[in-house]
Structure 1
Amino acid sequence: MIELRRILYFIAVAEELNFTKAAERLKISQPPLSQQIKILEKELNVTLFNRNKRVVELTEAGSYFLEKAKDIVQKLELVFEETRQVESGKSGKLSIGFTGSVTYDLLPKLIQTYQRANPKINIILTQMSSARQVEALENKEIDIGMLVSPIESNSLKVKTLRSEPFIIAIPSNHPMANRKEPVSLFNFKNEPFIFTDRDVGHSYYDAIISLFYEVGFSPIKSQQANELQTIVSLVASGVGNAVLPASIMNYINNKVTYLTLTENNASCTSSMAWRKDNDSAILKSFIEHVDHQDLCLS
C-alpha cells in the first residue's frame, strides 16, 4: 500500500521541479525526500522524473501520475471534510419511520424546516405502523420513529410531539354532512365503521374503541384498512364512517366530510422515539431541531 505521504511528496517535487525547493516547502531535508521519491518509483515500478545535474523533469508516466495524484488528494480532502461534517451532525443520512397520523401536517413541517437548515443530510422516509417502527428501531433499521404512543420498549426514548382530538369522517352525501356544529358519536350508533387492525397500533386502536364505549355502544365494523388515506377512500365510497385524528382534515377529499365530535375525552398522541444507545450527532441535531419547533400541542 502506497503511503499518502509519498504522494504528497511527489506532488511537491513535481510542482517545483526542484528537490531543494520541494524540501523547503515540505519543511524536511532533501535526502529523505529523494529517498521517499525513489521508494515511490519502486512501488509503482515506473520512473517519475528524469534527473540530471541541471534540471528535474517529469516523465510521461510522471505527468500522468501527477494529474491523477492531485485528483486523489482533492477527493480525500473532500472525504475528510465530509467526515468531519458527519461527526458534527451537518452531513450524512437520517432514516425516519412514520405513521399516517403525522403525514398531513407534522412530518412535512419538520422535514421542510430541518432540510432547509441541513441541506447535506439525506433523509430517508418510510411509512410503517407504530408496532413496526418499534421493531425497526430496536433492530437498528431506522434512526427515528414518529408513531402513536404509548409504546412498550425499555430500549427507546420517547418524546411527545402533540396530542390531537379525534373527528369523524362521513360520506359527503350523508344526512349529517351539512352540520356545522360538533356532533355526538352516538348519532352514528347504527352505522358501519372502518377500523385499523389492532396489531398495527394497539394504543391508536384502543383509544378509538374506548371512545365508542364511553358514548355507550359497540361499533359495527364494516371494513378494515391500515392506511389513513385508504380509510378515507373507503369512506368516500360509502363503505362506512371512520373515527380519525383531527390532522386528517388537512387531507381533502370532495366525497368526504369531516365533523368534530362533542366527545373529546380520547386523543391521539403522536410521539418521536429513538434508541437510547444511538449517539449519532445527526440524530441529536434533529431532536434539537424538533425541540425548537412550534408543534401546536393541544
Structure 2
Amino acid sequence: MNIEQLKNFVILTRTLNFRSAAEKTYIAQPALSRQIQNLEEELNAVLFDRSKRQIVLTDAGIYFKGEIVRILRDIEKVSEKTKQIHKGEAGSISIGHASSAMHSIIPPLLLEIKKRYPNLSVSLLEGSNGFILEKLKTNEVDFGFLPNALIPEGYETVEVYRENYFLILPQNHRLNRNTFTNLTECRDEDWILHPQEGYGYMERILQIINEFGYQPRIVHRSPNTSSVLRMVAAGLGITMMGKSTLKGFKLNLKTIELKNLEHQLDMKLVLRKDRKAELDNYYTVILESIKQLATP
C-alpha cells in the first residue's frame, strides 16, 4: 500500500460512491476499483460491503478508516516539520489547557518560551480534561495542562503546582470567611458546577462535597468558567474552584479559602510517552520554565 492509495481510500469512505470518488481523485473508476481491491487483498480484509445498492464500510473498514485518517494527519505534520528543520525554521507546537491554567501558568510560560525560541509559533486550545486528552491522543495537541486529571496509560505527567480550593459566593451571601466552619454549611445551597466527564476535575470536587455527608443540589452546569462565575455573581447559586481560576475576574463575588481540606487542586503537565523524544527540546524548555515560575 502507498500514501496515494490510502488517500484515495479515505476519499471513497466519504463519498461511498466509486464514480464520485474517481472524479475527486482524478483517476478512472476502474483504476480506483483496482486500488481498493488490491488494498483489501493486501490487508486480507473486506473494507466495503458491496452487496447493497450503495457501498458501506464494514466494521473492519470503519476501524481502518479511523487509523488511516490519523496516520495521514501525522505524516502531513511530520513532513511539514521536516521542511521547517531543513529551512532552519523553528516550527510550531500546540498546548491544550484547562481555563484555570490560563489564569496561572500559561501567560508566564509563553513569555519564557518566547525568550528561548523567538521564532517558535505556539497555538493554544482551551477545553475540559477529556477534550484535551482526546486532542493529545490524536496529536492535535502536543502538551496539556490539566487539573486533577485521571490520566490514562501511555502519558508522561509532571506536577506543576498544587493550590487550595475556594468556595465562591454572591457578594451578599449569608456566609462569610470570619464565621465559616466547613462545607456542611452549604448543604441546602444551590450549586453551579462544571459538567462531569469522568476525567477527574469535577469528580474530585463532588467527592470533597460528598465527604461532608451530602450530594450538592446542582441547579446549573456550564463547561465555561466565566459563565459559572457570572451566574454565581448574579445570585443563582454557589460554586467551588481552584484559587488561580479567580485571577483576572472582577465580579461581584465573595470567596472563602478552604484551607482545612485534605484535598488540593493538582495541575499537571501531560504529554504522550511515545512523543517524548520528538518533543524533547520543547519539553525540556517547558519543564525548566515551570520550575522557575512562582507557584500561584
Q: State the TM-score, normalized to the length of structure 2.
A: 0.65
Partner of 2:139: 140
Q: Which residue in 1 is equivalent to 2:250?
A: 253
Are positions 1:165 and 2:197 aligned together?
A: no
Distance between the aligned counterparts of 1:161 and 1:292, measured in 2? 8
Find the aligned partners of 2:208 and 2:287 in 1 and give their Cα distance: 35
1:243 aligns with 2:237: no
Structure 1 residues 148 and 191, CA gap change in structure 2 (3 angstroms)? same
Shift of 1:82: 6.0
Is the Cα contact below 8 Å between 2:105 and 2:290 reproduced in 1?
no
Aligned pair partner of 1:222 in 219, 222, 225: 219
* Mapped contact 1:97–1:125 kept (Cα < 8 A): yes
Per the alignment, residue 63 of structure 1 pairs with: none
Note closer, same or farther for the CA distance 1:280–1:258 as it changes in structure 2 (3 Å cut). same
8 Å contact from structure 2 (residues 169, 254) kept in 1 = yes
Instruction: Give the number of the structure whose alpha-carbon radius of gyration is greater.
Output: 1
Secondary structure at the counterpart of residue 167 of structure 2: strand
| Post-superposition CA distance 1:206-261 (Å, at most 9, x none) | 21111112222221111101121111111011111001111123233331111112
- Once residues 250 and 225 of structure 2 are traced to their aligned partners in structure 1, the CA distance between those partners, rounded to angstroms, is 12
Relative distance call for 1:261 and 1:272 in structure 2 (3 A) is same
Distance 1:84 1:181, change over 3 A: farther
Q: TM-score, normalised by structure 1?
A: 0.65
Q: Percent identity?
A: 19
Q: Secondary structure at the match of 1:120?
A: coil
Where 1:136 maps in the other structure, the secondary structure is helix
- Measure the CA separation in 1 of the matches of 2:83 and 2:196: 48
For 2:119 and 2:178, locate their aligned partners in 1 and report how far apart those are by CA, in whole Å: 46
Q: Which runs of 5+ in 1 are unaligned?
A: 1-78
Are residues 262 and 273 of structure 1, via their aligned partners in 2, closer, same or farther at CA, if it must alter by over 3 Å?
Answer: closer
Residues 185, 263 of structure 1: 8 Å contact kept = no
Q: What is the root-mean-square deviation in Å for CA atoms of aligned residues? A: 2.4
In structure 2, list runs of 5 or more residues that go unmatched: 1-81
The runs of at least 4 aligned residues of structure 1 exceeding 4 Å deviation read: 79-82, 180-183
Distance in 2, matches of 1:239 and 1:174, equals 11
CA distance in 2, matches of 1:142, 1:294: 23
1:196 counterpart letter in structure 2: H
Q: Describe the SS at the equivalent of 1:202.
A: coil
Give the aligned residue type for 2:264.
Answer: S
Q: How many residues in Structure 1 have an aligned counterpart in Structure 2? A: 213
